[in-house]
Structure 1
Amino acid sequence: MASFEHTVNPDQATFLGFGLEGVAYGIHVILFGIAVSLLVNKGRKGPSIGPIFGVSALLFCLSTVHFAINFNNVYTSTMVHPRPHIAAETHLLVGADAMFILSDFFSQLVLIYRCYLVWNRNIWVVILPVLVAFAAASCGFAVIGLVLSIAPTAPQAPADIVPFGDASFAMSLILNFISSSLIVGRVWWLARGNEVPGVPGLSRSRHILRQATGVIVESGLLFLATQFVFVILFAIAHPAQALVEPLAVQIYVRPSLHTSACFPSF
């Protein structure tokens, strides 16, 4: 395994990750409150709102639990019962790892469901993405189980089981890219169909479709970039993965309710 002793060590990455997650969680709470206000107080309605709102609320709860676990770990390890390494795995931190896997899984389900709606509820379009989402989550939980069996206090996955994690996170990364591409491609096609030759400007429906595409692309790119960085860091067993993982949990939650609040039909 490569040595990264001159960059950042697991304890530093864990502490920095906790701090950045705190900032991201604070922003997330504000955005979540704004989105709920738009959906509830202003009467936003649409066929996709019920399921997506429910899963988005669940994702918010998962991100809250994840941040609470990390806060408890840092506070307890430095203030209450100081220990040499705050990055060392504990049973409580295993729970945070589980929150990470579940957040990724449910955020992918929201993306797949939106793809299903955009493609006129065509079940054949989303069968493979659903299977990949379950496979990715299964590999992720297998990694957690193997870590507990082989090295229960290791701050990161041992080299022998890194390939299982690579498979899980790579599948999630590919799934995100494919689902986002299917959504954007379909929305672009619908927008193209709304263009009227010889008429200046854009129709209202086409303008809305273009706005929706922009929001989806912006959220999807952030999601995709975070996953890509984490996959690379995990594959090379870099300690900085402990810095990216907490941020990823908060970023996974953001696109789901944000798009629904702005564009209920998506």
Structure 2
Amino acid sequence: MCGEENYKGQTVLYGIYIPIFIGCAYVCLYVRPHRYLLMAATAMFVLCTIQAILTFLTVLYTPDIIFNTTCEAGVCVSCKGDNLARANEINIQNRLGLVAIPVISVNQLITEGFLIYRAYVVWKCNIWITVIPTFALLAVIVCRFIQTDHLAHTYFAGVTALHNDTILPTSFGPELPDPLGEVSDILLMTTSVLTTILIASRIWWLTRDFDATLGKRATKKYRRAMRLM
């Protein structure tokens, strides 16, 4: 059982996400109704649910890979050796990955795009504020597209190898998606941190004078928004 650790974290995070989404939906429906925010939150939750289902299917249909594989630096190696069933499971996992990567990409596009839009609105529709986050987000989508393309080549190569009874190596996993995954993670983090700072700092700047004139009680909701960001 040397590979299942990679999937436990995703299950825990999804479990945490469910009550967060329920709370968000409650706010958008009853506390401060907002149809478009509810639609965005629902879309993100649906996409995350699809990703969780794909992860469950990966565990269900590729047990040998999950429990008899160790992964390091993006390359996964069998703990026991090669066999035909394992090669078939590799192709199943790659096939599910071809669905999972676009789902993740769309979810990230909605999430980060929403943050960029909020920063744009808070900064009085200043388009220059959104230039760096937007380019970073577009670069992430390009990285995901290249990952999908390379994974597709890996999948079809594996199918061809099985059809021709070719002996596959003990390791699997494309070489390109590892550095591309790291780059996309860095770009996503940059986008999230930058937009969060832009939104929170703008709210602070606009309300700092109100504290002196109107008192902290009048600006309580703005400070709450900064803490939320």
Bigger Cα Rg: 2
Cα deviation 1:52-109 (Å, max 9, x = unaligned): 3222211111100000011111112239xx9548677421122122222222222111
For the 8 Å contact 1:52–1:110, the answer to whether it is kept is no
Quick check: 1:70–1:93 contact (8 Å CA) kept in 2?
Answer: no
Give the C-alpha shift of residue 111 in structure 1: 0.9
TM-score relative to the length of structure 1: 0.63
- 1:59 maps to 44
Query: By how many angstroms is 1:38 displaced?
Result: 2.4
Match of 1:263 in 2: none
Q: Percent identity?
A: 21
8 Å CA contact retained: 1:139, 1:165: yes
Q: Do the aligned partners of residues 38 and 166 (structure 1) sit closer, same or farther apart at CA in structure 2, a change above 3 Å counting? A: closer
Q: What TM-score do you get using the length of structure 2 for normalisation? A: 0.72
| Matching residue's letter, 2:183 | A
- Which structure 1 residue ranges, 5 or more long, are not aligned? 1-8, 217-266
| Whole-Å separation in 1 of the counterparts to 2:90 and 2:112 | 28
Letter in 1 for 2:218: R
Q: Which has the higher contact order (CA 8 A, sep 6+)?
A: 1
Please give the secondary structure, in 1, of the residue aligned with 2:62: helix
Structure 2 stretches of 5 or more lacking a match? 68-84, 159-170
Distance between the aligned counterparts of 1:150 and 1:78, measured in 2?
Answer: 20
For the 8 Å contact 1:194–1:203, the answer to whether it is kept is no
**CA contact under 8 A between 2:62 and 2:90: conserved in structure 1?**
no
Instruction: Name 1:32's counterpart in structure 2.
Output: 21
Q: CA RMSD in A?
A: 2.9
For residues 177 and 156 of structure 1, the distance between their equivalents in structure 2, rounded to whole angstroms, comes to 30
Q: Distance in 1 between matches of 2:204 and 2:181?
A: 34
1:21 and 2:25 matched: no
Cα distance in 1 between the residues matched to 2:112 and 2:172: 26
**Is residue 41 from structure 1 mapped to residue 54 from structure 2 by the alignment?**
no
Letter in 2 for 1:52: L
Aligned positions, number: 195
